[in-house]
Amino acid sequence: MKLRVGIAGYGLAGRSFHAPILTATDFEITSILTNNDVRRRHAKEDHPEAKIVSSIEDLCAQGLDLVVIASGNKSHLPQSLVAIKAGIATVVDKPMGINVSETRQILDAATDARVPVTTYFNRKWDSDTLTLKRVIRDGHIGKVIRMDSRFERFRPQLNPQSWRENNSPHDGGGLLLDLAPHLISTAIECFGPAELISATVRSIRGGADDDCVLVLAHESGVESILSASAVVGSPGPRLRVIGSEGALVINDLDPQEALLRAGKSPLEGRWLEKTSSAATIYRGEAQENFESDPGNYCQFYSLVHEAIVNKTAMPISENEILNVAQIIDDARKINSHG
């Protein structure tokens, strides 16, 4: 059963990270909101049957089953509230709100209106996260003690065209709002609820924050050390997970981002291309290649589809969304006082 979806925003997020996954997962993109001439052209080229509109109100008037908010971070709250008021199930790209207060407003509005809402923590369906969950479940490295998880890049010059790299946190900029939510959400997915122990959030290049290190303590006893940075000349492994009987190391980022940026798409809920990241288990000098799970973001939208059709729960819980938002707020507070 195809569901009708409208996308608010058709930049990188809307065009590359949502639209291809939606069309591969029993959704029909029937309308797109953008006021940018270049993006309007892209929208028409990609989805010639879709109606291009200029306001969130017009988008929500198109008889939709789902609205996807893929606009700039500062627009998430007002656009989400319009969609919820219209009674339409809503997916908000991360971060749901730029702080805990905004996030609570969206979630409370959805609860009051009895409208399903969730956020796009798609990295929970990365190859590395799925592989780690199986390693934990099957006890391949014993009891997990610590995880190092990172999105590290080397981009020493600011991109003057990027609002994420130049806008203040109040306007939704910075890596603490861009990449840290993925790191935090996957840590919570694997090891349960957490609180922030320490944080360093800095601007090295003179724009928005571009170097962040967060240390979390999970209720399960695991410690997560999370790094999001644009100024690392020698990026570390994507994951290094320390257990009592060995360590799991996954060096490379899940391939799906590169495939989507290159214009590739899944077909009927599955990738034809390889979407697994090489994994190795180390036990001192001994090492063994470990078969990794393929990543697939379609699983997120399959669960959203099921939630709308069968009235099941959305894929990301309210508690997890709030836990992530609170950790980000706490990191900001620590550094504003430091």
Q: How far apart are the first and last CA of the chain?
A: 53
Q: What is the pLDDT of residues 295-318, one digit of tens each?
A: 999 999 999 999 999 999 999 999
At residue 333, the pLDDT reads 94
Mean pLDDT per 10-residue segment, the chain (338 residues): 97 97 97 97 97 98 98 97 98 97 98 98 98 98 98 94 90 96 98 98 96 98 98 97 98 97 96 98 97 98 98 97 98 81
What pLDDT sits at residue 337? 56
Of the candidates 98, 74, 93, 76, the one whose C-alpha atom is nearest the C-alpha of residue 329 is 98
**pLDDT recorded at residue 338:** 46
Considering only CA atoms, which of 219, 174, 220 is closest in space to residue 199?
A: 174
- Give the residue from 164, 103, 124, 16 showing the smallest Cα distance to 322: 103
Q: What is the pLDDT of residue 74?
A: 96
Count the Cβ atoms, other than its own, within 10 Å of residue 138.
8
Kindly report the number of other CB atoms within 10 A of residue 249's CB atom: 20
Q: Is the dihedral of CA 248, 196, 327, 112 positive or negative?
A: positive
Closest C-alpha to 238, from 116, 77, 130: 130
Dmax of the chain from CA atoms? 62
